[in-house]
Amino acid sequence: MNIAEKTTVTLNYVLKAKDGTVLETTSEQGPVTILFGHEMFPKAVEAALEGKSAGDSVTIELEAKDGFGEVVDEYIAQVPISEFDQPENLEVGIDIIASDGQKEMIVTVKAIDDDMVTIDANHPFAGMDITFEMGVMEVRETTEEDLAHFYHEHDHEHGCGCDCGHEGDENCGDGCDDEGCCGGCG
């Protein structure tokens, strides 16, 4: 069976920065399973996978704009430390749940200076040229169970609930490490 709309795909991948630095890999957590066509990877990656079958390998190099996007300055904000419920638990580099009053999202703490905290809602790999090296393990028809699992994961109160770091935004589903979850990075 070939990868197409309404297929579920299990694959291994290595995601590298332009300089060859490994950013993410399935070698530690095992293969990921995605619902093809649900934007669990950047569109260009899905396009490269389309038509492939079990046993195929795909390598694709992407500029930042085609991968996880450019850095959006509006996604970076300075917030008074007094706005945080537990400011003593803040550390540079951690992901926290933030709310704009309408929706919650995961943001990364980039800096803590005196009474201000810099937070960033950009994807961790935004602004980076990247290379995906992927190996297709299995391709099968998507079942109702697959859809139910996917939508269950995406209905958690903070978005997909997969700790991907992008709950509630266009990158939701990135990096899920829950077995059988949405998986992938994009």
Residue with tokens 């399973």, as numbered in its chain = 33
Element (H, E) at 9: strand 7-17
Instruction: Give the bridge partners for 11, in sequence order.
Output: 32, 136
> pLDDT digits over 6-35, tens only?
999 999 999 999 999 999 999 988 999 999
Contact present, 40 and 183 (Cβ < 8 Å): yes
- The predicted-structure confidence for 41-100, as pLDDT tens digits, reads as follows 899 999 999 999 999 999 999 999 999 999 999 999 999 999 988 889 999 999 998 887
Determine if the pTM surpasses 0.85: no
Banded model confidence at residue 153, pLDDT cuts 50, 70, 90: low
